[in-house]
Structure 1
């Protein structure tokens, strides 16, 4: 099977031979195509700032750049592949040269999602698409149904988290060729795994973005962002810009057959138009050819805008499928570690109650004032939404990597606390997300790393250390100097997972716990989630750190959680129904009495429609 998404820009093969090149460059009067390093071919100007040229001798594998009037050579912003990194020539790619074997793949419904977030460069020893294929069977055995890959859009240097990409259509050559990425997706589908990809539509990285030089209308100085002028989604010329990102969505979903995209930090997108770009992108998801298959739009949004997650009266999506729920992470983290600085201050006073609100209503902040944001109100009412609209997690790349030393939660919390919060995460109705290595309590940190040019590298290193200076533990300049340099090769290398650990204690036991919980999830909970609506949840708190919650599942069954997430034992009435799971510190006697030791969790399931 062949797949190709045709676009009105970039390099496209022409029927009968040759390649059509098309660039939007409204800021310059002329553009010259440099082909294969030795041909200089003037492009024809067209209306609206477009330049076009069809070259009969060009073919797959041809390398090309665009020369601006001042002599600057720039890659194609719609490059499908830049083999020599972001400053080098783009390569003409023939998408139909790849033969897909997943013609019967229709994706998976969202309620089946168990997500595994990974960074390709540090997930395996080889750090590439091929290496990830070798771990797919392990992920299936673990109980994962979807892998979520941090951005692969071409970034500067040999390593990066991916959020500094500047060529949104080009998989970074550090991971392999576009065909290698397709091979990974194809292999995942053969094993029943969805593949989701992180994409960044709120900014371009600080190195290698040449759009300012020839298409200043790509940005709107009326909106200021941490990265300078905002991407122009609502000013003059914005139709072309919007089309650029709409096609990016369709390109990944059609040409790469991905099962969904996670839109990074949509709160940092500036757009005063109606419909806004998020709504337009949601429409693009719905327009994917062969829409009988499941495709999912996942959001990251600090503003907790429930409007983007709304369903109609029949439970059908209006916009996004689900959102990463930072609120639940913060509540879990405060409970497990006791930390209360930075944004954790908003969760420090009553973390268990806020966790309970997340589990029963979605967001913890639904319009309440945020102390961390100096009293600004945050969020919208979300209790009407189904649990499937919220992705729960204990860890992700941000929450680990934005710490000075990249500590994972297992490095900060006790094993007892880790077992308890993991049990809550993996059996709750909301789709859970694991960050690579979490399932075996990996010893490796996940640090912030990058590989910028010398001048920018120094600024990033200094800025990284300066941002922690407001914390008491980093007041001493000598301590700040101990924060790993993001550009040092050792920083990146330190993050590579050690897969031999899964055969050793204590990692093996942690892995078996995750496998056990996910097996229970797939056997007892997932089959009952379809059609659940909001689950008519009921929350009680027998003590300040104890939660008693029930949800009505899609088949009328009642799922019940009783969790003591504190250091003191409590007495609580056990919920009715079959015991699905109890943490190791709940023996038969304790279970019978209803006594909850510190950091203990029990889950029950009661069939039928009666409460």
Structure 2
């Protein structure tokens, strides 16, 4: 293990607060406690550029800043609360003050997760952690077992996706700060819902980013889309690594977060002998031993590399799971016909079958879009190690107009697409509002205070969508209207069609939870066949009896097909997406069927059969 040292303001009852900051670039560091009578305390320099002091009278809520070399007055890089935003004073947080009620909660294993990704600012009318709590009964009713929060680390202003955070330890003040986040996590656990937190360890936002004034947080060894890379393997990198290890441990330990989703790990540059991600896993393993429970680490990567999730003893990094974008791309291109940008590598029906049987579509194949060979073979990796979706914040919000799938395909097609995610062997993830066909877009938005930065963001978005010339302009990311247009309407409460779609999602989720064949779905316990000309997919789960036969027609035409030979005497229908109960046009429900029976599938439909003995 490299250096492990607590940083930031650590409050201990009856002792006061110990302030520790890594500032190797400074010759002198002074702490100012912003009480009614400001108190200035010099910090003592220790090895490796750490500075520390104990302030006996600094308690919960005490505002403070550091002064570097008598000139620069700055917030704490490891601040746990920025009550007045990224440029203002930091505040001490006493974690012993919160009365947790989740003492018996141990989290859920990967195979039980049905994840619901949400953005705190647009998920509720209030746009806060407390606002999200009010909607937890709806999520419980839907059947999801985990929420995934887009990043909540303090960012400039009040409107942001969260990937411009500059205080990784501080829960966003406008969302409700650390107290609000703890309330949300505690409320989730009370409902039996795990909490996944999206954390960004590959870059920092530009506004309010004072790290470089303190220490060697960045390196010019690597170029990134955001400028110099965070320093994970250059001189002084032990202390940068420690900064982020302490961050991860804080969320899991002090906020009772169950899992971390690690943003874009392919942009964490580390050529050292022990990769940052491996050591992060080892640090979290230690916390697991202390707490007697499991914490999950889920990576986002575009490299299709099983090294992330393979055991450390086998040369991997030991992470629990990773996002699996190939599955999204295979589905999206087949149902929308879109083949622009990175979608040009997809659109072939056989890729959907390969994604189900072997996971990575690009498993050592040449990518025309990237102009290089990509990926490793994930056939042997358990399906529970991969998170799949048909929509998420990236795939929706990085479109010029933020259209959801609701705007891109007919209503009936939304149902087989839902089935492809929820009936796959992989860990399913929904994007907020997907379950009822939310019609508001999810757009890209910011609220920077630096006008030059605002203009740069606007121009960047325009350049990104230049190939859409003639189709209008991208919405202004700085505009409040862009943000408000991205809020959920929850139309299913009054719109009958949306209500029926939500009921369909509930039925699929219930089936995933209740069907013995889906108790522990995995690739070896499936039969898969894609009829490429017809766009008809046969997916049979055979892990336990009764087996489950899922038939998808993702074409816009009715299709005739024959049931595959499976070890079952006959099949009975358990769900038909064309049923009027799910907002469909109505359809005859096939009754008892045998191996080789012909089935007529309506356009854009899903039929599910259960084995009869």
Cα deviation, residue 84, structure 1 = 0.5
Q: Secondary structure at the match of 1:188?
A: helix
Corresponding position of 2:538: 548
Q: Distance in 2 between matches of 1:277 and 1:401?
A: 29
Task: Give the stretch that moved more between structures: 73-82 or 51-60.
Answer: 51-60
Deviations along 1:260-300, one digit per CA (max 9) or x if unpaired, are: 01000001110001220111112223222455433211110
Q: Verify: 1:582 aligned to 2:573, yes or no.
A: no
Residue 490 (1) aligns with residue 481 (2): yes
Q: SS state of the match for residue 506, structure 2?
A: helix
- Pick from 383, 387, 392: which aligns with 2:379? 383
* Residues in 2 aligned to 1:490 and 1:160: alpha-carbon distance in whole angstroms: 13
1:417-452 CA distance string (max 9 Å, x none): 111111222122212111111111111110000111
Please list every run of 5 or more consecutive structure 1 residues that lacks an aligned counterpart in the other structure: 1-5
Q: Distance in 2 between matches of 1:114 and 1:122?
A: 21
Equivalent residue of 2:493, what SS?
helix
1:283 corresponds to? 282
Does residue 360 of structure 2 align to residue 363 of structure 1? yes
Q: What do the CA deviations read for 1:108-138 (whole angstroms, capped 9, x no partner)?
A: 1211111000000000000101111101111
- Between 488-497 and 556-565, report the one with greater CA deviation: 556-565
Judged with a 3 Å threshold, the aligned counterparts in structure 2 of structure 1 residues 550 and 292 are, in CA distance, closer, same or farther, namely farther
Deviation at 1:312, TM superposition (A): 9.3
Pairing partner for 1:517 from 508, 513, 533: 508
Which position in structure 1 is the counterpart of 2:561?
572
How many angstroms apart in 2 are the aligned matches of 1:445 and 1:178? 29
Offset, 1:569: 3.2
Using the size of structure 1 for normalisation, the TM-score is 0.92
**Distance in structure 2 (CA, Å) of the matches to 1:543 and 1:25:** 60
The 8 Å contact of residues 586 and 600 in structure 1, kept in 2 or not, is answered as: no
Distance in structure 1 (CA, Å) of the matches to 2:509 and 2:72: 54
C-alpha distance in structure 2 between counterparts of 1:560 and 1:387, whole Å: 18
TM-superposed deviation, 1:213: 1.3
The equivalent residue for 1:36 is 34
Q: Tell me, yes or no, if structure 1 residue 463 matches structure 2 residue 452.
A: no
Is the contact between residue 387 and residue 535 of structure 1 (CA under 8 Å) also seen in structure 2? no
Structure 1 residues 386 and 552: CA distance shift in structure 2, 3 A: farther
Equivalent-residue separation in structure 1 for 2:358 and 2:547 (angstroms): 17
How far apart, in 2, do the equivalents of 1:429 and 1:312 lie?
A: 24
Structure 2 contact 263–300 (Cα < 8 Å) conserved: yes
Given that 1:105 and 1:293 are in contact with CA atoms closer than 8 Å, whether structure 2 keeps it comes out as no
Distance of aligned partners of 1:311 and 1:71 in 2 relative to their CA distance in 1, 3 Å threshold: closer
For residue 199 of structure 1, what is the aligned residue in structure 2?
199
How far is 1:455 from its partner?
Answer: 1.4
Give the TM-score, by structure 2 length: 0.91
Q: Which runs of 5+ in 2 are unaligned?
A: 579-585
Q: Are residues 231 and 513 of structure 1, via their aligned partners in 2, closer, same or farther at CA, if it must alter by over 3 Å?
A: same
How far apart are the structure 2 equivalents of 1:533 and 1:437? 28
Answer yes or no: is the 8 Å Cα contact 2:516–2:545 preserved in 1.
no
* Aligned-partner Cα distance in 2 for 1:586–1:361: 34
- Counterpart of 1:3 in structure 2 is none
Q: Which residue of 2 aligns with 1:136?
A: 136
Instruction: Quote how far apart the aligned CAs of 1:552 are.
Output: 3.7
Task: Tell me which of 606, 610, 613 is aligned to 1:601.
Answer: 606
Shift of 1:536: 4.5
Q: Residue 533 and residue 567 in structure 1: after superposition, are their counterparts in 2 closer, same or farther (change >3 A)?
A: closer
Q: CA deviation at 1:521?
A: 1.3
Deviates more, 1:42-51 or 1:582-591: 582-591
Matches within 5 A, 1:174-193: 174-193=174-193
Preserved contact between residue 333 and residue 346 of structure 2 (Cα < 8 Å): yes
Q: Write the distance in 2 (CA, Å) between the matches of 1:526 and 1:548.
A: 15
Alpha-carbon shift at residue 578 of structure 1 (Å): 4.5
Query: Distance in 2 between the 1:280 and 1:311 partners?
Result: 12
8 Å contact kept, 1:80–1:178: yes
**SS state at 2:540 partner:** strand
C-alpha deviation, 1:499, in angstroms = 2.5
1:477-513 Cα shifts (integer Å, max 9, x gaps): xx55x32100011110111111244321321111111
> Is the 1:394–1:434 contact (alpha carbons within 8 Å) kept by the matching residues of 2?
yes
Q: Deviations over 1:207-255 (max 9, x none)?
A: 111111121x211211221111111111111111111111111111111
Deviation at 1:567, TM superposition (A): 2.5
Q: Provide the C-alpha distance between the structure 2 equivalents of 1:588 and 1:119, rounded to a whole number of angstroms.
A: 39
Matched residue SS, 2:514 = helix
The aligned length equals 588
What secondary structure, in the 3-state scheme, does the structure 2 residue paired with 1:65 have? strand
State whether residues 11 and 19 of structure 1, in contact with CA within 8 Å, keep that contact through their aligned partners in structure 2: yes
Q: CA deviation at 1:372?
A: 1.2
The alignment status of 1:271 with 2:270, answered yes or no, reads yes
Stretch of structure 1 that moved more, 158-167 or 290-299: 290-299
Residues 202/557 of structure 1: CA separation in 2 closer, same or farther (3 Å cut) = farther
